[in-house]
A and B are shown apart, each in its own frame.
Chain A
Amino acid sequence: MHIINFDRAGGRSPAMGAPYESTRNNARIRGGRGFRAKKFDAITAVDNVDLNIKKGEVFALLGASGCGKTTLLRLLAGFEIPTDGQIVIDGEDMQSIQPYNRPVNMMFQSYALFPHMNVSKNIAFGLKQDRVPRAKIKQRVDELLELVHMKELFNRFPHQLSGGQRQRVALARSLAKSPKLLLLDEPMAALDKKLREQMQLEVVNIIESVGVTCVMVTHDQEEAMTMATRIGVMHDGKLLQTGTPHKVYEYPNCRRTAEFIGTVNTFSGTVIENSADHVIIDAPELNREIYVDHGISGSVGTDIWVAVRPEKMTIDTTPPSGEYNHARGVVEEIAYVGGLSIYHVKTQSGMIIRVTLANVDRLAEGRITWDDEVYLSWQPGAAVVLTW
């Protein structure tokens, strides 16, 4: 069984400026409907995905290349036909609906602007297919040009535009028909780093001002966290976890998610004490026990992993008090990246633990340096227990 689902609350999302808040707050997940996946000969590209997108949200599908996220997007657009399952958009089953009849528009990774049409004609193309009266088309195109700040460049051709400008046009074109669902395929991949950060915020602002429901695909976790209200982490065609950026980062539900979103130190261990308010885990890699301040569902003796983010550890030259949650090691590597320094500390068991420290002071005197013997420690609330 392969499932995706769309929330069907409210009417279709209104055009720019119109109120959408009410439907947005009411939107909730409605489960149940079956969906379909795509099988490439022997490989299942999207497998057993069950997903609800809420009205007005920006949902990011995040995963390494080849994880099936783009296939999922193309299934929504109608370019791929699923072998099994169902796609429902605003209450309407998309099974037999051709891509050119779906209330879905996509912004392509390459932007796919029509090279033989100028900016205005590119934006007007979709409206023309719907036989919208000419005066209405002009009005809508002007509106969109205003929205994406491209008013002066309306008669330029795509090759006469810079990367950022092309993206604005592509965005305007995909918003022109006020789709119920906007798809963004790796929206920032064609831009350089500086421009990317600027456009991420700008694109999100535009999408939010229009109030369109949006599904985007990216392999860049920072981009997903900046732009999306919710993230879905994909691996091997399966959806591992969905949630707000904060939730996915702070409470990953499995090792893959924890390792894919940001960096993390994972210690394998065995549960030796489990009660409602705490767990004690024996971690042979640390020669010490780990204390976590919440109970877990596994019983004593279960093999589990404990994940601690590098920024949640402290590094010191004096041994910390207390029995749990620390490790002793030698600084093997320091990477200075400006705002942060990343310390690689090697424990006696040979494991490398990463710790980041914010460079608050400008002077580096008295700092911990290479080959220093140090103690790492963290709070009981900083660790996350992962069972798979």
Chain B
Amino acid sequence: MSATRRSPLLSVWLLLGYTFLYAPIVILIIFSFNESKLVTVWAGFSTKWYWELFQDRQMLTAAWLSLRLALMSATAAAALGVLAGLVMARFGRFRGHNLFAGMITAPLVMPEVITGLSMLLLFVSMEKVIGWPDGRGLLTLWIAHVTFCAAFVAVVITSRLREMDESIEEAAMDLGAPPFKVFTAITLPIIMPAVAAGWLLAFTLSLDDLVISSFVAGPGATTLPMKVFSSVRLGASPKINALATIVVLFVSLCAVGAGILMFRTERQRKFEIQAAMRDTD
């Protein structure tokens, strides 16, 4: 171990920081097991809100819709994001490169209210002029989510492609692979981790989007965040705490699982590299 002397104050600061970040979540989890109907008053341990949650058909429908929407949006956004990333990182400096790059990333900084409102206006006027999309529902939600999710994926993919050694692609072409084959056989497998990361990012963004969804959703299509928000407005129910606990549990399981997997492969890789260095030639 290194002998750097750390001030004990540093640990205190660290602890305070983590408390600031995670105390609300911990309190939320604790209160999801509250017996009382009142969210803020503790009345003994109980799992009854979990049972109530699973009885709530509306909540379950909304959750199922959100899940489907997130899967579809993430997949479409990943495909579009990869294309946009390729154009930005591999097509050199074509005319309008900067404009394209700016416009791809604009949704990242655009206020959601504006995106949502403009989407709504677009859909309404399109329906008037060409009769499509017919009303608002899953389709309009999907289009809107893909629009802003693709921007995030494009950023992730672009940076991955920029740091990738371009001569690997040139080598494939040199060995007789036409451009499309180079993409499918070489580029895509190499950037796959970034595509997966972009997909996950898009998935979570779509899953918890409230503002844009509220604009473009129709009466028949209520996403989980919209449902939660509307029910909280009528008064916070401990049911929401239970739902939040399940979401937090699910997310942290995914994160921890992915972390362990990555740590293992990285350790294996380091070990192999060291082994290769030892039996050098």
Contact = CB atoms under 8 A, between A and B. Distances in A.
Interface of B: prevailing SS:
helix
Contacts of A162: 276-277, 279-281
B272 interface: yes
A177 B186 contact: no
Interface stretch (B20-28, B134-142, B170-178, B222-230): B170-178
Contacts of A195: 281
B162 interface: no
A108 B169 CA distance: 11
Interface stretch (A46-54, A109-117, A333-341): A109-117
Nearest to A106: B174
B174 A99 contact: yes
A108 B171 contact: yes
B264 interface: no
A77 B174 contact: yes
Given A114-B168, A114-B172, A100 B272 contact: no
B275 A160 contact: yes
Nearest to B278: A162
Contacts of A156: 276
Nearest to A164: B281
A130 interface: yes
A22 B104 CA distance: 60
B192 to A, nearest CB: 8
Nearest to A126: B175
Interface residues of A, number: 36
A161 B281 CA distance: 9
B189 interface: yes
Interface residues of B, number: 26
Contacts of B165: 110, 112
Interface string A124-153: 011001100000000000000000000000
Nearest to A157: B272
A247 interface: no
Contacts of A101: 176
A377 interface: no
Contact of A108 (B167, B178, B275): B167
A103 to B, nearest CB: 10
A173 B186 CA distance: 15
A187 B181 CA distance: 27
Given A114-B186, A160-B272, A160-B276, A165 B281 contact: yes
Contact of A126 (B170, B176, B272): B176
A126 B273 CA distance: 26
A37 B212 CA distance: 54
Contacts of A161: 276
Given A108-B171, A112-B168, A129-B177, A159 B269 contact: yes
A218 interface: no
Nearest to A102: B174
B190 interface: yes
27 contacts: A77-B174, A79-B173, A79-B174, A104-B174, A105-B174, A106-B170, A106-B171, A108-B167, A108-B170, A110-B167, A112-B167, A112-B168, A114-B168, A115-B168, A125-B172, A126-B175, A129-B176, A157-B272, A159-B276, A160-B275, A163-B280, A164-B280, A164-B281, A165-B280, A173-B175, A176-B175, A177-B175
The 5 closest A-B pairs by CB, nearest first: A126-B175, A129-B176, A112-B171, A112-B167, A162-B280
Interface of A: 77, 79, 98-101, 104-106, 108-110, 112-116, 125-126, 129-130, 156-157, 159-165, 173-174, 176-177, 195, 198
